[in-house]
Structure 1
Amino acid sequence: MKSIITTAILAACTLTASAQAPAAPAKEVAGNSATTPAAKLNAGWWKKRHEQKVAAAKNAKVDLLFIGDSITHSWENSGKKIWQKYYAPRNAFNIGFSGDRTQHVLWRLDNGEMAGMKPKVAVIMIGTNNTGHTMQKAEETAAGIKAIIGRVHKLSPETKILLLGVFPRGMNPDHKMRVLNNEINAIIKTYAEDDKVTYLDLGPKFLDDKGVLTKKVMPDALHPQAHGYQIWAEAMEPTLKELLGEK
């Protein structure tokens, strides 16, 4: 559909469009853990949350689905008030799980967390834990993200994907995890060649004029606090409105 990159320091706005068939699921290559579905059922809270989400999904009317890790999960905590303002009225549903990597999202999608759902839009932001846990190669993490897009479209072919660039990580621009996340983003932005995928890089919105990720936005240089969620919501709103068909 289109690729939208929010500009701050190093990024420049681009808009591309093409009309192609939805992306096929990425091939699950042996040896790439990012594309191989995996559960964390030994973690009691994770198993319980998964079961709760599966049960809720069966009866939920969902127009807007959020898929991700702890950064998405925390719309239920640090971002709760902002969620209530922006997303609760839009029949939004959150399947972000703290600590998840791409492989865990794949497992959850394969095991009922989208059962029966036909959301208008799915917001996907995942991959920073593939970086943080194992410094996984960018192309492997990107393949996992592509596989997630494929899973969503397998379950709900008409759902539009709003694919967010992996958020900045590490205080300074040269932090090794920031650099690796940027490499992931350089790959996944090409997925917007699919006419049902829009790419949006909000990363520069979180940075100061020197590219520094400040404590006011993300105190641990990874997880947004309330101010960071407000930045996220405001920056995403124009694109989200368009994808939802709102005026």
Structure 2
Amino acid sequence: MSLPPPPPELAELPAPVPLDKPEALPWWTARHAALRAQAQAMRAAGQAPQLVFLGDSITHGWDDVGQPVWQARYAARPALAMGCWGDRTEHLLWRLQHGALDNLAPRLLVLLIGTNDSGDLQAPPARTAAGVWRLLDELQRRLPASRVLLLALLPREHAPEAPLRQLNEAVNTRLRALADGQRVHFLDVGAALTDAADWLDPALLPDQLHLSEAGYHRLADAIDPTLDRLLAAAPLDASCP
């Protein structure tokens, strides 16, 4: 099955570019190169990643505060977290087009990206969703036999009516429409990170954006049943359009 068309509200999709923060660019470029090298080293060792997480600082956090959870849950699968601090959708697209997944054939990709589009740019929801659509299109063309688990943007700011929370929710409404239930599957785990009144749990997201170690435990609990189901599913037919 092919992707639905990009959101009609936006005529021009974001173009792929490296991270556009001069003070971070050398670090970001080195991070991209290190992730590529790690992926190829795993492949050369006969442990090519079958599960790849793609995203921004929240995905990058699996290599930092979330590392104990990663080791317990995913390291043996084998899996790879390819997150870069500061990434928006156009930055991740640049990484994909510059070798991030070359020579890999993971069974499942977990995509979580877009909160920096909302937070840094205050981008309209359609612009962020269009950036995610372009990433899905790129992944489908490069890895037609890989499924994608598209995660909803995580909730931001304590109160449910806060501006960035509402902006991310508007993006999520559009992201849900990009899933076809075959190659692309959508999952919203926001309720696992909030209380009964929909306020953020500060023990899970201390700065109202990034996860604590407990937050990564909660995230893993929320996504693992879907990960297990999709990883166990029959392989996709890469020749099917």
CA contact (8 A) 1:172 1:211 kept: yes
Structure 2, unaligned stretches of length 5 or more? 234-241
- The alpha-carbon deviation at position 103 of structure 1 amounts to 0.3
- In the alignment, does 2:164 pair up with 1:177? yes
Counterpart among 110, 118, 128 of residue 131 in structure 1: 118
- In the alignment, does 2:103 pair up with 1:116? yes
Provide the aligned C-alpha RMSD in A: 1.7
In 1, Cα distance between the equivalents of 2:39 and 2:102?
6
- In the alignment, does 2:203 pair up with 1:216? yes
SS of the equivalent of 1:142 reads helix
In 1, Cα distance between the equivalents of 2:130 and 2:91?
14
SS of the equivalent of 1:54 reads helix
In 2, Cα distance between the equivalents of 1:193 and 1:89?
29
CA contact (8 A) 1:66 1:95 kept: yes
The aligned residue for residue 48 of structure 1 is 30
Identical counterparts, % of pairs:
35
SS of the equivalent of 1:149 reads helix
CA contact (8 A) 2:19 2:86 kept: no
- The alpha-carbon deviation at position 150 of structure 1 amounts to 1.1
The aligned residue for residue 10 of structure 1 is none
Residues 120-199 of structure 1 correspond to what in structure 2 (within 5 A)?
A: 120-193=107-180, 195-199=182-186
In 2, Cα distance between the equivalents of 1:145 and 1:40?
16
TM-score normalised by L of structure 1: 0.86
CA contact (8 A) 1:75 1:83 kept: yes
Higher relative contact order (CA 8 A, sep 6+): 1
The aligned residue for residue 243 of structure 1 is 230
Task: Supply the AA of the counterpart residue of 2:16.
Answer: P
1:16-55 Cα distance to aligned partner (Å, 9 max, x none): xxxxx1327859x7755xx210102842210111111122
TM-score normalised by L of structure 2: 0.88
Aligned length: 223
CA contact (8 A) 1:63 1:91 kept: yes
In 1, Cα distance between the equivalents of 2:198 and 2:181?
30
CA contact (8 A) 2:4 2:178 kept: no
SS of the equivalent of 2:177 reads helix
- In the alignment, does 2:44 pair up with 1:57? no
SS of the equivalent of 1:193 reads coil
In 2, Cα distance between the equivalents of 1:190 and 1:220?
29
1:49-94 Cα distance to aligned partner (Å, 9 max, x none): 1111122233430100000000010001111010001110111111
Task: Supply the AA of the counterpart residue of 2:211.
Answer: P
1:122-169 Cα distance to aligned partner (Å, 9 max, x none): 000000000110110101100111111111111110101000000001
